[in-house]
Amino acid sequence: MQKSVQDKPEIGFDLFRKEGLSLLGETPLVAETPEELLDDDTTPIARFFVRNNGLLPPPVSDPETWRLTIDGEVERPLDLTLAGLKSRFPHKTLRMVLECGGNGRSFFEPRAEGNPWTHGGVGCAEWTGVSLKDVLREAGLKESALFTGHFGADPDKQGSRAHQAMSRGVPIAKALEEHTLLVWAMNGEPLPFLHGGPLRLIVPGWPGSLSQKWLTRIWIRDREHDGPGMTGLSYRMPVRPLAPGSDGRGVETRILESMPVRSIVTAPADGSVLPAGTRSLDVRGAAWAGDDEVARVEVTVDGGATWTAATMTPPRNRYDWVRWQASLALPGDGFYEIFARATDSRGRAQPFRAANWNPNGYGCNVMHRVAVTVGPEA
């Protein structure tokens, strides 16, 4: 059973205003959000998941003096303070999903390596900042610019600042997408320290590990970045399907980029007991699809024999999640399992059973299952 953060007071989650999260790891600090707590259009900071790759850096006394360097394959290297970013470039506020690359990992069989995420390594916040595109234009990209490398102030798991806890990067095309932001605010508040404040990167639709916290440097490179989290099996998927349980040694891999389509049920909560005689059940949730769009969401209470189409609320902007709702007919009292299935704009739907097994357990988008009982519990 996963521990609640309230069961581990020594971690000091109360200092970061977290409530109801399930603790997955202490060093580094990792916690996910139960699906029923993701029932808001905009995920509250108190319910936003936590994924650190190293230890916390020292707090900064004056956020406006935080410095960011842009260097490498650029014509004009930049050394900017947070105050300078705010004054020199147009501001944007976008509501966008941030999701851990290992979300859903615990559903792989056999078990894959890493934190045992269920469906709660995700949140959808309002992020305020500037497009990285605008800053890179000011720096002037050389023709040799192919990839970014991201660097943060957090020490590694042993507390060393000589090595990066995580340093990943993206192809220049993704860096130049207008939704890729340098952010200093979350849900209208200064970016919380635990979430990378005073400055972080948000690379929407791709694994959250690319959205570097406590951002200090973006290195523009003439080749694919090779920092921690970019080599071996880290955030990489097999090019060809592997037999479950394979060690992955020697196989050809590719970088995990756009996250797969996924849907969660946020109401009712798993294990709900409904009054006897209930014959109609309102179900609601959220869906998202990485770089793609959510084409439809369907729900079933009979194991997929029949499906009910959900009504979807259009997203506010690209990379916002889709909120959906549906009304299900229940034939009588008893036990039911609700499954939600989202399909993306390329026709790819979520599976009942975890597919695409890989040693580190990335990209699992198995359908979310919620059990409810109508009438007295057996």
Which fold does the domain 22-255 belong to in CATH? Sulfite Oxidase; Chain A, domain 2 (3.90.420)
Question: Residue range 4-25: average pLDDT?
Answer: 64
Give residue-wise pLDDT tens across range 337-369: 999 999 999 999 999 999 999 999 999 999 999
Give residue-wise pLDDT tens across range 312-334: 999 999 999 999 999 999 999 99
Query: Which CATH code of 3.40.50.2300, 2.60.40.650, 3.40.50.300, 3.40.50.1970 fits the domain covering 262-374?
Result: 2.60.40.650
The neighbour count for residue 24, using CB atoms within 10 Å, is 25
**Distance, CA of 3 to chain centre:** 21
Helix spans in the chain (H): 82-88, 132-139, 172-175
What are the C-alpha distances in Å from 236 to residues 168, 170, 231, 283, 363?
Answer: 12, 13, 8, 35, 10
pLDDT of residue 128: 98
The overall average pLDDT reported for the chain is 94
pLDDT of residue 358: 97
pTM: 0.94
- Percent pLDDT > 70 in the chain is 95
Q: How far apart (Å, rounded) are the C-alpha atoms in residues 80 and 297?
A: 44
Q: How far apart (Å, rounded) are the C-alpha atoms in residues 261 and 293?
A: 8
Whose CA is closest to 114, among 123, 125, 103, 124?
103
Residue spans per domain, the chain: 22-255, 262-374
The neighbour count for residue 278, using CB atoms within 10 Å, is 15
Task: Show the tokens assigned to 190.
Answer: 């200064």
